[in-house]
Chains A and B, each alone.
Chain A
Amino acid sequence: MDFERLLCSTGPHEGQILRPSDKKHPHKVAWIHCVGSRQVTPGGNSYCSSVCCSYTQKQVILAKDHLPDMHAKIFHNDIRSYGKDFERFYQRAQKLPDVHFIRSYVSVGSEDPVTGDVSIRYTTPDGVVEEFFELVVLSVGLVPPKDAPRFSKVFGIELNHHGFCKVDPFNPLQTSRPGIFTSGAFQGPMDIPESVMGASGAAVQASFLLKSRRGQLSEDRVYPAEKDVSEEEPKVGVFVCRCGANIGRVVDVPGIAEYAKGLPNVVHVEESLFACATNTAKAISDTIRDKGLNRVVVAACTPRTHEPLFRDTLREAGVNQYFFDMANIREHCTWVHSKEQEAATQKAKDIVRMSVARAGKLEPLDEFSLPVDKTALVVGGGIAGMTSAHTLAEQGFETYLIEKASDLGGMASRLHYTLEGMDVQVFLKELKKKVYRHPKIHAITDAAVTGVDGYVGNFTTTVKVKNRVRTIKHGAAIIATGAVEYRPTEYLYGENDKVMTLLEMEGRLAKQEEKLLAADSVVMIQCVGCRNEDRNYCSRVCCSGAMKNALKMKSLKPEVDIYVLFRDIRTYGFREDYYREASNQNVKFIRYEPQDKPLVEAREEGGRSFIRVTAADPILGRNLELDVDAVVLAAAVIPSPGSSEMARMFKVPLGPDGFFQEAHAKLRPVDFAAEGVFLCGTAQYPKHLSETLTQAYGAAGRALTLLSRDTVVASGAVCDVSNDACISCGACVSVCTYGAISFEETPRGRKARVNAVLCKGDGLCVAKCPTAAISLSHYTDGEVFGQIDAALETV
């Protein structure tokens, strides 16, 4: 954390990395993982803090950016890159020059009194090495808040034995006291997206209790009346944001601001450290009013996330919100040209110039309201889909639940118990009953979505049920189509019945199948079918799944020998306790390297048929032969087969691994960029049941926010026809499949006319019109020409 502050432009040395003791730039830096976590010694915590592996990698990447000649060594235990895209992040950190990841426990020695350097002792294949580092960063774990015990007393809620809030495993947002919910890291160590999902989920559950009073305390925002500026010359204000160091450290912000002053129509220029901070946004709207600005350019980040906020700033200042343009100098400039500061500064100036040119041509537009159909559609009847459907129905909204199988349940039907020992089947049965019986839930099984039309607030979806086609109108949709288990092609799977997947093992253990319990020895192989070139991600649940089933097997047959062949054990959070428990019960853990995978062969010797597993043991440095009766594969969690069609129909994207891509990895984990469509469960990424539940509540919460409104605001950026120029050719009418354009008889003949409510603003018709009669507001030819010309002005 201290180091993070050093990296930050608002930090003690404005983003410069200086050693606290003597303010020297360090060139040799060591990071030590798991400090105070995954320890049972006094002062340590037994759990894993879940976030340090990835935040260390982030720091290394950033530090390397600040100090290109830095040499770094990262001393780690398992690398727990279990989150979405974490694996790629880890690979990036690994590929940096002079950055070495070393798997070793360390002991920190003495500080050299003269240089102030610190010695670290660690093990390598060639023995123990001692090395001096100029700076040592400790990846210190997360601990429960200091006043948790007081909290617990005041609110009458229980804490778990780690001192975090105790929650219901089948509703991780529910504390031990009804009516009190929790979210975020008070539940236990977790990353930002999980906290955001939880926050929305907790809010929705709390709102259920307050349902009868909904809306009574909220007030509609009142904006000042809009100023008519049609007679004024453009007066453009430019606000250049530093975004802390994100922009400010790469490009010359004062230089850009100075340059902007000289651009046509610009009457005011200002720099800001964080333009989107609440107080800054307020200051911007004051400036707009004081200086009489009628056009605003914010040179900052992407309009895809921040445009709504700044448009609001304009409204607060009494200026039409369409008089705004964002110059994206972060995502499209400083973040992608961080090594070419001069060229990046030039490019940023060009981007600002284009924006100013555009701003000068912008016109004020009115938005209009469309009614919201207060019905929800949920696709996928697993735990995620059922939970969100039930939450919505409980809040009084008619909900359709579409399941392609003949029964609800999804993957959970194949899970029997959780790591913590809870009975999944009992929970599932209860949930299914609640869903099937709910008068507001229409569960449709054996169903397939065949088409989706419409837009936020007003979708029309066609569903094929056996041979019938049904049409459902709804205002919001949740995609919860889950994920499936990979069918291994390796390790004799499907050829030898002694080889099974983790999920199959779980089924057999639940039945106490004799054949499996007859096994005296079992090998479990982790990471089968993922963390490789084809599937460059971690399936997240299988390490804990292995612990769960190993412990279950041990409880049924204590004398069995179990060997787990793993790459990294990723039992993050409190799951770490079960890893320790498995070790204590003599489950043997043997690490393998991806280039040196275990070999599996079927053998018959002396009348016994068994499987010989050969693995290289990195600690002993030789091959290990294990003759065992069963081999269990931790088969990857892979995207559900129909994902790409589903993505296409709902017009939402998939990520590189084939899972659905949320709008923002950290801050909008259950939304899509397309409005009115939400996401939860393993359709987004592999995750544990408890995490699926949290996300399902979260998605329901987001859908609820939409459905409880009577109207949605439609953009004013739609098409319009100027009658004079229209030659009635029909090009626009035939290209617009929304049916927004039709012909109308006028005194001057047949002319095209746009129905603004139906127009979605893609502007295809504009590109087809031979006479430029039809135009798309906010993206007019004139505005685009202005941008083209400005882009090339200096050539």
Chain B
Amino acid sequence: MAAPSDFKPIIVGFLCNWCCYGGADLCGVSRFQYPPYLRVIRLMCSGRVDLEFIFRAFAKKADGVFIGGCHLGDCHYNPEGNYDALGNSFVAKRILENVGVDPDRLRLEWVSAGEGIRFAEVMNEFGAKIKNLGPLGSSEGREVADLQAGLEAATQLVPYFKLVERERFRVPKRTEEGYREFFAREDYEPLFKELVLDKLTMGRIMGALRAGEDSAGAIAQKLGVDPAEVARHLNLLSQQGMVRIDGSQVQLALAA
């Protein structure tokens, strides 16, 4: 679906002070032009960008989120937070996908303080991409309210995710290769699905029930999730005593 031509996207940008913010400044000093979509929040390190920031921006209907840090190996800080930004963006994209937000709406780039021209190029390219996707929800073909419910569930999950991340998803090697390998490992996907995405889906189902949905089919439609998946989760939830299933009717156990 083509976006209307008068659509003016808003992209929330988290830029690290030392590299990307400096690159954006140099871009200005050099007068390289780019479209006026970006709203910048300056942080000291791209590693400060919490998953919650990303979900919050989309929940408030940002059309895109941009994270800009120093090139890998060039982080201003000793702990090299840009690797964490890299890991977070992998995870955030998987979660966004799960809740129905096009993961291409999130972009992570490395721009040094000397790369004014690159900043303009990235902004031109990402700006055009978001402009093309149209307002949040339009390219996804989903109601914004439904996406917001999903993002709310994702936000609820962040503390839990941080705990499992520490125990189960610690990337052993702090190199770009190391990160790519880790996220491409065969056992990563199933483990991530089991520990994170399934939890998220359950959270979203509970959210839908709380919002008044009462059939497996309606929930599946609302969440944009495969009905078989929804049924599987409902069974698990009912085993845990969280929901009651009565023929085609589903209810929250507590509400009863």
Contact A339:B33 (CB < 8 A) given known A651-B74, A738-B79, A768-B162: yes
Q: Nearest A residue to B39 by beta-carbon distance?
A: A791
The B-contacting residues of A in range 620-665, CB under 8 angstroms, are 647-648, 651, 653-656, 661, 665
Which listed residue, B42, B50, B77, touches A760 by the CB 8 Å rule?
B77
Bound state CA distance, A336 and B23, in angstroms? 12
Q: Nearest A residue to B77 by beta-carbon distance?
A: A762
Q: Is A302 an interface residue (CB 8 A)?
A: yes
Q: Are A779 and B44 in contact (CB under 8 A)?
A: yes
Bound state CA distance, A653 and B113, in angstroms? 7
Closest Cβ–Cβ distance, residue A99 to chain B (whole Å): 15
Q: Is B166 an interface residue (CB 8 A)?
A: yes
User: Contact flags (1/0) for B109-125 with A, using CB distance below 8 Å?
Assistant: 00011110100100000
Q: Are A336 and B120 in contact (CB under 8 A)?
A: yes
Q: Nearest B residue to A647 by beta-carbon distance?
A: B74
Q: Are B29 and A656 in contact (CB under 8 A)?
A: no
Q: Are B24 and A792 in contact (CB under 8 A)?
A: no
Q: Is B140 an interface residue (CB 8 A)?
A: no
Q: Are A61 and B31 in contact (CB under 8 A)?
A: yes
Q: Are B112 and A763 in contact (CB under 8 A)?
A: no
Bound state CA distance, A522 and B135, in angstroms? 67
Contact A729:B163 (CB < 8 A) given known A674-B18, A763-B45: yes
Report the contact-size class of chain B (Cβ under 8 Å from the partner): 35 or more
Which of A44-52, A106-114, A433-441, A782-790 is near enough to bind chain B? A782-790
Contacts of B48 in A (CB 8 A): 762-764, 766-767, 776, 779
Which listed residue, B52, B79, B115, B166, touches A781 by the CB 8 Å rule?
B52
Q: Are B36 and A795 in contact (CB under 8 A)?
A: no
Bound state CA distance, A683 and B73, in angstroms? 20
Q: Is B179 an interface residue (CB 8 A)?
A: no
Which of B53-61, B185-193, B237-245 is near enough to bind chain A? B53-61
Report the contact-size class of chain A (Cβ under 8 Å from the partner): 35 or more
Contacts of B77 in A (CB 8 A): 651, 760, 762, 764
Which listed residue, B22, B61, B62, B78, touches A453 by the CB 8 Å rule?
B78
Contact A788:B57 (CB < 8 A) given known A61-B31, A771-B159: yes
Closest Cβ–Cβ distance, residue B111 to chain A (whole Å): 10
User: Contact flags (1/0) for B5-28 with A, using CB distance below 8 Å?
Assistant: 000101010000111011011011
Contacts of A734 in B (CB 8 A): 166
Q: Are B28 and A770 in contact (CB under 8 A)?
A: no
Q: Is A736 an interface residue (CB 8 A)?
A: yes
Q: Are A656 and B117 in contact (CB under 8 A)?
A: yes
Which listed residue, B18, B33, B50, B76, touches A336 by the CB 8 Å rule?
B33
Which listed residue, A651, A736, A785, touches B56 by the CB 8 Å rule?
A785
- Which of A335, A771, A791 has the most chain B CB within a 10 Å cutoff? A791
Closest Cβ–Cβ distance, residue B137 to chain A (whole Å): 12
Q: Nearest B residue to A452 by beta-carbon distance?
A: B78
Bound state CA distance, A334 and B109, in angstroms? 23
Q: Is A737 an interface residue (CB 8 A)?
A: yes
Q: Are A761 and B10 in contact (CB under 8 A)?
A: no
Closest Cβ–Cβ distance, residue A605 to chain B (whole Å): 50
Q: Are B25 and A779 in contact (CB under 8 A)?
A: no
Q: Is A601 an interface residue (CB 8 A)?
A: no
Q: Are B36 and A333 in contact (CB under 8 A)?
A: yes
Q: List 8 A-B contacts (CB under 8 A).
A: A302-B21, A304-B22, A735-B79, A763-B81, A768-B162, A788-B57, A791-B12, A792-B39
- Identify the B interface with A (CB < 8 A): 8, 10, 12, 17-19, 21-22, 24-25, 27-29, 31-36, 38-45, 47-53, 56-57, 60-62, 73-79, 81, 84, 88, 112-115, 117, 120, 159-160, 162-163, 165-166
